[in-house]
Amino acid sequence: MGEHNFEITLEFVEELRGSRNLLAFSGGVDSSALYFLLKSYQIPFDVAIMNYGMRKQAALEVSYAQNLCLMDNKRCFVEYAPKIHNNFESNARKLRYDFFENLIMHFGYSHLILAHQLDLQGNKFAKNANVAQIQEDLH
Protein backbone atom coordinates (compact mmCIF):
# COMPACT_ATOMS: atom_id res chain seq x y z
CA MET A 1 0.00 0.00 0.00
CA GLY A 2 1.31 3.43 -0.92
CA GLU A 3 1.51 6.38 1.38
CA HIS A 4 -1.32 8.87 1.10
CA ASN A 5 -0.84 12.58 1.56
CA PHE A 6 -3.92 14.68 1.97
CA GLU A 7 -3.97 18.41 1.46
CA ILE A 8 -6.42 19.64 4.07
CA THR A 9 -7.64 23.20 4.02
CA LEU A 10 -9.84 24.95 6.49
CA GLU A 11 -12.21 27.65 5.38
CA PHE A 12 -12.23 30.92 7.28
CA VAL A 13 -8.72 30.41 8.76
CA GLU A 14 -7.91 34.09 9.14
CA GLU A 15 -11.33 34.95 10.50
CA LEU A 16 -11.12 32.12 13.01
CA ARG A 17 -7.59 33.04 14.07
CA GLY A 18 -8.71 36.52 15.02
CA SER A 19 -11.75 35.51 17.06
CA ARG A 20 -12.99 33.47 20.01
CA ASN A 21 -14.15 30.05 18.88
CA LEU A 22 -16.08 27.21 20.44
CA LEU A 23 -15.67 23.68 19.08
CA ALA A 24 -18.64 21.35 19.45
CA PHE A 25 -16.87 18.13 20.40
CA SER A 26 -18.17 14.57 20.61
CA GLY A 27 -14.99 12.58 21.07
CA GLY A 28 -15.62 10.86 17.74
CA VAL A 29 -13.33 10.75 14.73
CA ASP A 30 -14.71 13.88 13.05
CA SER A 31 -14.55 16.25 15.99
CA SER A 32 -11.19 14.83 17.11
CA ALA A 33 -9.73 15.40 13.65
CA LEU A 34 -11.13 18.92 13.64
CA TYR A 35 -9.66 19.55 17.12
CA PHE A 36 -6.16 18.67 15.90
CA LEU A 37 -6.63 20.53 12.64
CA LEU A 38 -7.63 23.73 14.45
CA LYS A 39 -4.69 23.26 16.79
CA SER A 40 -2.29 22.81 13.86
CA TYR A 41 -3.59 26.02 12.27
CA GLN A 42 -3.06 27.77 15.62
CA ILE A 43 -6.70 28.77 15.78
CA PRO A 44 -7.80 29.58 19.34
CA PHE A 45 -10.78 27.59 20.57
CA ASP A 46 -12.41 26.04 23.58
CA VAL A 47 -14.43 22.84 23.67
CA ALA A 48 -18.06 22.04 24.48
CA ILE A 49 -19.24 18.45 24.88
CA MET A 50 -22.70 17.14 25.70
CA ASN A 51 -23.11 13.88 27.60
CA TYR A 52 -26.52 12.27 27.14
CA GLY A 53 -25.58 9.28 29.31
CA MET A 54 -27.01 6.91 26.74
CA ARG A 55 -23.86 4.95 25.87
CA LYS A 56 -21.23 3.27 28.02
CA GLN A 57 -18.43 5.14 26.25
CA ALA A 58 -19.95 8.59 26.91
CA ALA A 59 -17.95 9.04 30.12
CA LEU A 60 -14.76 8.07 28.27
CA GLU A 61 -15.50 10.64 25.55
CA VAL A 62 -15.95 13.36 28.16
CA SER A 63 -12.71 12.30 29.86
CA TYR A 64 -10.91 12.34 26.49
CA ALA A 65 -12.14 15.89 25.82
CA GLN A 66 -11.14 17.05 29.29
CA ASN A 67 -7.67 15.52 28.99
CA LEU A 68 -7.06 17.08 25.57
CA CYS A 69 -8.10 20.47 26.88
CA LEU A 70 -5.99 20.12 30.00
CA MET A 71 -2.90 19.29 27.91
CA ASP A 72 -3.56 22.17 25.51
CA ASN A 73 -4.68 24.74 28.09
CA LYS A 74 -8.19 25.06 26.67
CA ARG A 75 -11.49 25.35 28.48
CA CYS A 76 -13.69 22.28 28.34
CA PHE A 77 -17.38 22.79 29.02
CA VAL A 78 -19.37 19.65 29.79
CA GLU A 79 -23.15 19.51 29.93
CA TYR A 80 -24.96 16.47 31.32
CA ALA A 81 -28.33 16.17 29.63
CA PRO A 82 -31.47 15.14 31.48
CA LYS A 83 -33.00 11.84 30.41
CA ILE A 84 -34.80 12.21 27.09
CA HIS A 85 -37.96 10.12 26.97
CA ASN A 86 -39.18 10.69 23.42
CA ASN A 87 -38.17 12.16 20.07
CA PHE A 88 -34.51 11.75 21.04
CA GLU A 89 -32.85 13.36 17.99
CA SER A 90 -34.97 16.50 18.06
CA ASN A 91 -34.80 16.96 21.83
CA ALA A 92 -31.07 16.21 21.94
CA ARG A 93 -30.43 18.79 19.20
CA LYS A 94 -32.41 21.41 21.13
CA LEU A 95 -30.51 20.70 24.36
CA ARG A 96 -27.19 20.77 22.52
CA TYR A 97 -27.82 24.08 20.77
CA ASP A 98 -29.21 25.66 23.94
CA PHE A 99 -25.96 24.62 25.65
CA PHE A 100 -23.86 26.11 22.84
CA GLU A 101 -25.91 29.29 22.73
CA ASN A 102 -25.56 29.81 26.49
CA LEU A 103 -21.79 29.42 26.28
CA ILE A 104 -21.57 31.77 23.31
CA MET A 105 -23.61 34.44 25.06
CA HIS A 106 -21.91 34.04 28.45
CA PHE A 107 -18.30 33.85 27.26
CA GLY A 108 -18.44 35.94 24.10
CA TYR A 109 -17.54 33.34 21.50
CA SER A 110 -17.96 34.60 17.97
CA HIS A 111 -17.96 31.25 16.16
CA LEU A 112 -19.34 27.80 16.80
CA ILE A 113 -17.37 25.19 14.90
CA LEU A 114 -19.10 21.90 14.11
CA ALA A 115 -17.73 18.74 12.53
CA HIS A 116 -20.57 16.90 10.88
CA GLN A 117 -19.68 13.89 8.77
CA LEU A 118 -16.18 15.06 8.08
CA ASP A 119 -15.23 14.56 4.45
CA LEU A 120 -11.44 14.85 4.37
CA GLN A 121 -11.09 14.30 0.65
CA GLY A 122 -13.77 16.85 -0.17
CA ASN A 123 -12.28 19.42 2.23
CA LYS A 124 -15.62 19.89 3.94
CA PHE A 125 -15.12 19.71 7.63
CA ALA A 126 -15.92 22.92 9.37
CA LYS A 127 -19.19 24.71 9.60
CA ASN A 128 -19.02 28.30 10.72
CA ALA A 129 -22.07 29.56 12.58
CA ASN A 130 -22.55 32.85 14.29
CA VAL A 131 -25.00 33.41 17.11
CA ALA A 132 -27.75 34.58 14.76
CA GLN A 133 -27.48 31.36 12.75
CA ILE A 134 -27.69 29.29 15.91
CA GLN A 135 -30.77 31.17 17.01
CA GLU A 136 -32.37 30.53 13.61
CA ASP A 137 -31.68 26.79 13.97
CA LEU A 138 -33.47 26.74 17.30
CA HIS A 139 -36.74 28.06 15.89
Residue 96, pLDDT above cutoff 90: yes
> For residues 130 and 22, is the Cβ–Cβ distance under 8 A?
no
Q: How far is CA 110 from CA 31, 64, 104, 139, in A?
A: 19, 25, 7, 20
Query: According to the model, what pLDDT value does residue 10 have?
Result: 64
The average pLDDT across 92-109 equals 95
**3-state percent helix, strand, coil for the chain, nearest multiple of 5:** 45, 15, 40
Query: According to the model, what pLDDT value does residue 112 have?
Result: 93
The average pLDDT across 80-98 equals 93
Residue 88, pLDDT above cutoff 80: yes
Query: According to the model, what pLDDT value does residue 53 have?
Result: 87
Residue 29, pLDDT above cutoff 80: yes
Residue 123, pLDDT above cutoff 50: no
Query: According to the model, what pLDDT value does residue 47 have?
Result: 98
Query: For the chain, what is the mean pLDDT?
Result: 81
CB-count exposure of residue 111 (10 Å: 0-12, 13-18, 19+): buried
Give the confidence band of 54 by pLDDT, cuts at 50, 70, 90. Answer: confident
Give the confidence band of 99 by pLDDT, cuts at 50, 70, 90. Answer: very high
SS3 43: coil
Q: How far is CA 123 from CA 2, 34, 40, 97, 132, in A?
A: 21, 11, 16, 25, 25
Spatial neighbors of 15 by CB under 8 A, at least 6 apart, are 111, 128
> For residues 25 and 31, is the Cβ–Cβ distance under 8 A?
yes
Longest dimension (CA), the chain: 49
The average pLDDT across 27-46 equals 93
